[in-house]
Structure 1
Amino acid sequence: MATPAERGVVKPILSDLMDDPGSGLDYETRPDRLPGLLTPLDRFFIRNHAPTPMIDVLSWRLRIDGDGVRAPVTYTYRDLWDLPLTSVVRTIECAGNRRSLFGRASGRTFEGTQWGRGAIGTAEWTGVRLRDVLSPAGIGPNARQVMPEGLDGPGRRPMPLAKALADDTLLVLAMNGEVLLPDHGYPARVLVSGWLGAASVKWVGRIQVSDKDLSVPWNTDDYVLIGPGYPPTGESAGVPINEIPVASLVELPWPARLRPGRQVIRGRAYAGEARIHQVTCRVDDGPWQHAVLLPPVEQATWVRWQFGWNAVPGEHELRVRATDDRGGTQPDAVPWNDLGYLYNAVLAHPIHVDDPA
């Protein structure tokens, strides 16, 4: 097993829980190792742009400043724990999830992390509402955007003031009941519900409030849809990505191997800021069948689903299509974009069913 220094991350990476897409910084959850609604910390996916920083919490400070506040404010780690705490269950997904499958469908290899299906996870996030952190600085009447900045270097991405002030936008201190691990943003990170993972900046050291729209590499050159059909927007080379579209996940290896007979096929579906409305499944050329949605069915959080299948020996393809409560549904194909983002097409999941013993 590679050492943390060789991997660029701190927590142990077990191959029976997580897959390595090859960057040395990023690790994805194995879909067949999801035990419940929440993703355990030992298998929650990691997306890093640089090695995980080891931050001295005693000297760490969080500064709130910018031309959108009346007076800058600085917090210590202890200060944040003294503020009112709240907890929410929310899903985070990297915009590049399923990039390798997008490449396979497009007949090309995209640059960037070659994610399979596991750059997604759900946790109970505990911290302070971001609006409560910003309020003592006095948000000005002309404030437009809020931008957390990470201490890892490149991590920074603006959001509209309204999103920053939402009930479920948090400055996170703990995850699944435990203090944040270094790989997941210790001592503090942002949670921006329903948006791409890059918006939930880790290792936050500064939050800028601005009277104008902010342009940084993460909303002009990267985490942007670039290509035919995606015209440049302002200073951006294309269309900046914010919300994550509806998609589904089957809790089986790829390809999968099953015994013949009655099987319960399980999975997850997620729809960004929306709620999942329905999930339908189809085996080979058979009819689409409604899967059962397991509670809770909440906004900005994945939903577990399941359906029964009488598996017969041979080679099969399972297709799953999720639909959200705003009418969004998974397409059969996704238009190409230069960086291979937001691939949410219906997938043909290969399954081999053994002959009877």
Structure 2
Amino acid sequence: MSHHPGIFKPLPAEHFRYPDEGGATNAETRLSRLPGYLTPNRQFFVRSHFDIPELKATDWHLRLTGDALTREHSLSLKDLEQLPRVSVIRAIECAGNARAFFARDFGSPAEGAQWGPGAVGVAEWSGVRLSDVLALAGVEEGAFHVLPEGLDSGRFARPLPIDKALADDTIIALAMNGEPLPIDHGFPARLVVSGWLGAASVKWLGRLEVSRQALNTYWNTQDYTLAGPDYPAVGEADGVPITTMPVMSLVDLEDGARLFAGDTILRGRALSGEGQVIEVECCLDDGTWQSATLHTPNIAGAWVCWSLTCRLDAGRHVLQVRARDDQGNEQPESVVWNNHGCLYNAITRIAFHMENSADRVDDAPLQ
């Protein structure tokens, strides 16, 4: 069982792969190894831009500042624990999830960590509403942006519009799947911003600034934007700042996997930012599209598990999957290039092999 530089939890190879060379603090979940609806803490992907801070709960404070607050305020962990406790089941997905497929589709890679499809997970997050915390300092009329800032070495920060910050399901999480937040996932407190890119859910939260003006940072103007020849610059940004994540399907099978020939059940997951997936369709070997079975739960802002029962002969097969949500959004045949390699959600496609063998062969590693 191995550790990766800068990541604290064990990262066994059967559960993770690394999208970067070197010591970057990124680890991708192998979706084929997920046991159920929720992603266990030990298998949840890790994405950090800077060194992960080691913080003590007894020393931690959250500072509330800004010209759109009636007063500045500081809260300890015990102070937060006095507020009404809420729980939400939500996905956190990196905007660069599946970025590696840009290289496959366009012949050259987009910039950034070359994630496969596993920079995503669903957990039950428990904590307090961000709106309840901000109310303690008095949010004034005319508030425009809330800027959460982390306590990591680079003080990662990315703004939220006031309406999103005050939404009922935007929370400061103190626990993940019933356990205190692991250090890799933001201990002792992090934001969970439902349906938005993972970068909005700032970890190791240390400060919240509430302003009447825009509080833009590098992370919503020069990165985590859709930038390139087909995207206009918006304001200070090099393109279109990313907010809500798009509809996407995932397969609980790795490219190049080997399975028994004959009757089999193919499985996966599908999600759509703040929406709810209402249909998943599969196409095997250029055949007709057929509806997969959707299973419960199917939680908006999280994902739904799907399955397809089929009979397959020995040999190589190609599976295509597309999902559609309750707003009519559907995975496209292809995506438009963007320089940062974000929001890849073209129809999912993997190849796998069925073998006539008495012994099952485990999934091959992701290439």
After TM superposition, the score normalised by the length of structure 2 is 0.95
Distance 1:257 1:331 in 2: 28
Aligned to 2:266: 265
Contact 1:49/1:154 (8 A) holds in 2: no
Distance 2:199 2:357 in 1: 47
Contact 2:3/2:9 (8 A) holds in 1: no
Aligned to 1:120: 120
Matched position secondary structure for 2:167: coil
Q: How does 1:228-267 map to 2 (within 5 A)?
A: 228-267=229-268
Aligned to 2:350: 349
Distance 1:329 1:10 in 2: 37
- 1:78 is the counterpart of 2:78: yes
Post-superposition offset of 1:109: 1.7
- 1:227 is the counterpart of 2:228: yes
* 2:282 partner amino acid: C
Matched position secondary structure for 2:50: coil
- 1:107 is the counterpart of 2:103: no
- 1:293 is the counterpart of 2:291: no
Post-superposition offset of 1:56: 2.0
Post-superposition offset of 1:356: 5.4
Question: 1:12 aligned to 10, 13, 34, which one?
Answer: 10
Aligned to 2:361: none
**Greater displacement, 222-231 / 123-132:** 222-231
Distance 1:322 1:135 in 2: 39
Contact 1:99/1:110 (8 A) holds in 2: yes
Distance 1:145 1:264 in 2: 47
- 1:197 is the counterpart of 2:195: no
- Superposed CA deviations along residues 188-212 of structure 1, whole A, max 9, x for unmatched, are 0000000000000000100011101
RMSD: 1.1
- Superposed CA deviations along residues 252-301 of structure 1, whole A, max 9, x for unmatched, are 12122111111111100010011101000000121111001101122111
Aligned to 1:333: 334
After TM superposition, the score normalised by the length of structure 1 is 0.97
Unaligned ranges ≥5, structure 1: none
Contact 2:250/2:348 (8 A) holds in 1: no
Aligned to 1:148: 148
Aligned to 2:134: 134
* 1:8 partner amino acid: G
Contact 1:103/1:340 (8 A) holds in 2: no
Contact 2:3/2:11 (8 A) holds in 1: no
Aligned to 1:63: 63
Distance 1:312 1:210 in 2: 61
Aligned to 1:22: 20
Q: CA separation of 1:3/1:264 partners in 2, compared to 1, >3 Å: closer, same or farther?
A: closer
Aligned to 1:283: 284
* 2:243 partner amino acid: N
Matched position secondary structure for 2:307: strand
* 1:130 partner amino acid: L
Distance 1:195 1:103 in 2: 25
- 1:308 is the counterpart of 2:309: yes
Post-superposition offset of 1:154: 4.0
Dislocated runs of 4+, deviation >2 Å: 1-4
Distance 1:37 1:3 in 2: 25
Post-superposition offset of 1:2: 5.0
Distance 2:57 2:332 in 1: 46
Distance 1:78 1:175 in 2: 18
- Count residues in correspondence: 355
* 1:28 partner amino acid: E
Aligned to 1:87: 87
Aligned to 2:364: none
Contact 1:63/1:72 (8 A) holds in 2: yes
**Equivalent pairs: percent with the same residue?**
50
Contact 2:149/2:156 (8 A) holds in 1: yes
Matched position secondary structure for 1:348: strand
Contact 2:321/2:348 (8 A) holds in 1: yes
- 1:212 is the counterpart of 2:213: yes
Distance 2:3 2:51 in 1: 13
Distance 1:51 1:167 in 2: 31
